[in-house]
Amino acid sequence: MASYPMSFEPLELSDARWREILSADAYRVLRREATERAGTSPLNDEKRAGVFICAGCALPLFSSEHKYESGTGWPSFYQPIHPEHVGTRKDFRLIWPRTEYHCARCGGHQGHVFDDGPEPTGKRWCNNGVALDFVPEGEALPELRTS
């Protein structure tokens, strides 16, 4: 597995700036914690080797090595590239609490993590595809967004 820089500075941008740099769908998911409709992301069918990065700030979040077909209609992974790249908190918006996760660098909402994934972790990191970009193996990762 490739190595990725572990240190990063938090990225805080104004709401107006996020609206300028993100698509309307990405803004709704990353900044307003919306959920894209299941089965709509081309990343759900992405099978090439590579890395999935935050669409907001380009922090590497998931490796294709940890992606699997969950049958949910959203890209799913059994672990992040590094635990420090995601932050979690409880989400009480439905009848039962869920664990929501965000990009640790820009705070962008990514999805939810569940305890029904495959071994070796038993976790399903269920991600909104619009919150991610894919970088194929062998291509350079973009610079982390700074503004």
* pLDDT tens by residue, the chain, 147 residues: 466 666 788 999 999 999 999 999 999 999 999 999 999 999 999 999 999 999 999 999 999 999 999 999 999 999 999 999 999 876 656 566 779 999 999 999 999 999 999 999 999 999 999 999 999 999 999 988 888
- CA proximity to 130, closest of 9, 32, 63, 50: 32
Q: Give me the active site residues, please.
A: 126
H helices present in the chain, as ranges: 15-21, 24-32
**Can you give the pLDDT at residue 97?**
77
Place of tokens 């992405």: 46
- The span from the CA of 38 to the CA of 61, in Å, is 20
* Token output for 143: 């610079």
Q: Which domains does the chain have, with CATH numbers?
A: 15-136 (2.170.150.20)
Q: What is the pTM of this model?
A: 0.92
